[in-house]
Amino acid sequence: MRNRLLAFAFVFAALTGAAFLYQSVNPPVSSAQNSGAITAQTPPAASSAAPSSSVPSSPAPALTAPRQGFDYGRAKLENERNTVEIVQAYDSGIGFITAKTMSAQSDCDPTDLRCRFLQQQQGGAQQGTGSGFVIDDTGLMLTNNHVVTLETETVGKLTVKFHNDPKTYPATVVGRSPAYDVALIKIDAPGKKFTPLSMGDSDALKVGQKAIAMGNPFGLEFSVTEGIISATGRDFQGSNGNLATNVIQTDAAVNPGNSGGPLLSSAGEVIGINTAILSPGTQGSGQGQFAGIAFAVPINLVKSILDDLKAGKTLDQGTLGSSRPRLGIGLQSMDAYPDNLIQQYNLPRTGAMITNVEPNSPAAKAGLRASSKNAAGTDFNGNPIQAPINGDVILKVNGQDVTSVTDLQRIVFSTKAGDSVTLTISRGGKELEVKVQPQVITTK
C-alpha cells in the first residue's frame, strides 16, 4: 500500500495595517501565569556503540550549583544596570489609564432593572485602558489621543493609577491633537508627589540605539520591554489617518494597552510616545498583536505643540496648518510626474516643485520662485495632464532629502519662532541654497 504524504498548510494572517494600542477590556484579559520551573536534567548514559567520528567526543559539562555568594539582586552587565536604574527611577511616573465613554441615554424606566441591563449588554459605554507618563509636578500627563477618545467617541470618565500606589485618581483632558495622536491630561491628586519624566531630543536618535518601552499591555499594570531604534523618519498613518509622519520605529515589544506610554533612551529620557504596531493578527482576532514593528510619535514633535495643548486647544490637521510656522508656498511632489515630462524638461526625479508663492510670505521674501508654465503630458494611466514645469524644486531641507511634501511640512512645522531652515533647490538645472525663516501666516 502506498505511503500517504502528509500535507502541511501554513496559513498566514493578512497584514492589515496599523493596530492602535489602547486595550479594550471587554472581554477581560485572562490572568497571566508563570509556570516556568527549571529542572536540572541528568546527562544520558554513554552509548556502547563506537563513535562515528575519529575525533573523541567531549563529556557533557556537569551542572553545578550557583556560585556561592552570587548576588542575584545586583545586575552584573552594564546594559542590565542601565535598564534597572531607569526603571527604578521612573516606574512611579507611569500611569495606568482607564477610560470610559459616555453611555447612550437610556429610554428604560429607571425602575426597570432588566431593561437597563439588556441595554447595557447591547451597547452601553465603551471601556479601555492605556498608558501615560507624568511631565511635571502638577500632575500633567501625556498619552495618546485615541486613548482619551476610544474610537472617536469622547471619554466621559478618565482615571489613572500609578505603579505601587493603591489609589486611583480622576483625570480630565486638557488638550489633544488628533492629527498627531497626542493628548494632555491633568490628574486630580491633591498632595500627591509626582515623578515627572524628562523629555529628550528625538532628532538626535541613531538607528541601533537602545529603546525602553514602559506601559500597561493587555491591562497588566506596569510592564517594561527593551529593544532598539529600528528606523527613524517613517512616513506612516494609522487606520484612521490620524498619526504623525516621521515616526520612530522600534522592536521593543509593545501591545494593546501600551498606548500613550513612553519610549525612553538609555539616558532615561523620553524620546517618543508609543502609539501603534503593524500586526499580522489584527484581521483574524480584531486585536493587535506585537510582531516586532512598533511606532512612536517623536517627542520633539510633541514638544512643538505642548504649549497649545496646555492652552486647551484641539489640534486637527486644519488647525495645525493655520497655527504652525509656514513658508507660504504650494507644492507638487516630483514622484507624481511621469517619465516623459521628467526627461523632456530635465526635471529632478525627487523633491517638490513650488507651484505658487503667497505674497509677503517668508518664501516670497527669500526669493523662491513658483512655476509659471504648465506642460501637457500623460499620467501613469495614460490620461492627459497639465503639470507645472519651471518652478524651483526643493530637493533638501536642512540637509535632509525631500521625497514628499510631508518631509518638508514635518521639519517646517517643528521650527521655533526665529529659527530658519536651509532649502537646497534646483533652479534651471542648477542647485542653490536658500535660507528661509518660517512664520505663522494669518489669513484675513
User: What are the catalytic residues?
Assistant: 146, 181, 259
Highest mean pLDDT among 286-295, 338-347, 381-390, 414-423: 338-347
Residue that is last in its domain, among 315, 338, 356: 315
Q: What is the CATH number of the domain that holds 202?
A: 2.40.10.120
Do 408 and 271 lie in a common domain?
no
Task: Specify the pLDDT at position 256.
Answer: 80
Do 259 and 350 lie in a common domain?
no
Do 207 and 303 lie in a common domain?
yes
Do 149 and 286 lie in a common domain?
yes
Examine residue 59 and state whether it is found in any structural domain, yes or no. Answer: no
Which range marks the domain in which residue 344 is found? 324-436
Examine residue 64 and state whether it is found in any structural domain, yes or no. Answer: no
Examine residue 34 and state whether it is found in any structural domain, yes or no. Answer: no
Do 210 and 351 lie in a common domain?
no
Residue that is last in its domain, among 293, 315, 337: 315
Q: How large is the average pLDDT for residues 278-286?
A: 55
Do 294 and 399 lie in a common domain?
no
pLDDT tens digit sequence for 171-207: 999 999 988 889 999 999 998 999 999 999 998 999 9
Do 294 and 359 lie in a common domain?
no
* Rounded (5°) CA angle 269-316-309: 45
Pairing of strands 294-298, 270-278: antiparallel
> What percentage of residues in the chain have a pLDDT greater than 70?
68
Q: What is the CATH number of the domain that holds 393?
A: 2.30.42.10
Residues present in the chain in total: 444
Task: Specify the pLDDT at position 179.
Answer: 84
Examine residue 147 and state whether it is found in any structural domain, yes or no. Answer: yes
Q: How large is the average pLDDT for residues 273-281?
A: 77
pLDDT tens digit sequence for 55-109: 444 454 554 555 566 565 665 688 888 988 999 999 999 999 988 865 544 455 5
Residue that is last in its domain, among 286, 315, 344: 315
Examine residue 39 and state whether it is found in any structural domain, yes or no. Answer: no
For the whole model, what pTM was predicted?
0.64
Do 177 and 298 lie in a common domain?
yes
Q: How large is the average pLDDT for residues 38-63?
A: 40
Do 293 and 354 lie in a common domain?
no
Do 282 and 336 lie in a common domain?
no
Examine residue 196 and state whether it is found in any structural domain, yes or no. Answer: yes
Examine residue 114 and state whether it is found in any structural domain, yes or no. Answer: no
Q: Count of domains in the chain?
A: 2
Do 232 and 367 lie in a common domain?
no
Do 282 and 301 lie in a common domain?
yes
Task: Specify the pLDDT at position 54.
Answer: 42
Examine residue 441 and state whether it is found in any structural domain, yes or no. Answer: no
